Amino acid sequence: MNKHQAMIHYRVVMSVIIKWLADGILGEEDFTKLDSLFADKYGLPKGSIYR
């Protein structure tokens, strides 16, 4: 998977997680943990504009 594909996969996953956060399924703490988990999985650094 190249960097462009990894960024797209990350954004797709995060769109679902953001929806869950908005619906109250997840809390802020869970959101933060999942954001870090998927950013690490897809190789996005902490300062990335896509995060």
Tokens of 9: 């996969």
CA 28 to chain centre: 13
The whole-angstrom separation of Cα 19 and Cα 17 is: 5
| 38 three-class SS | helix
pLDDT at 47: 80
Reported pTM: 0.83
Sorted by where each begins, the domain ranges of the chain are: 3-41
Each residue of 1-51: pLDDT tens digit? 898 999 999 999 999 999 999 999 999 999 999 999 999 999 988 887 767
**Residue 1: Cβ-neighbour burial (10 angstroms; 0-12, 13-18, 19+):** exposed
The whole-angstrom separation of Cα 36 and Cα 40 is: 6
pLDDT at 16: 97
pLDDT at 22: 97
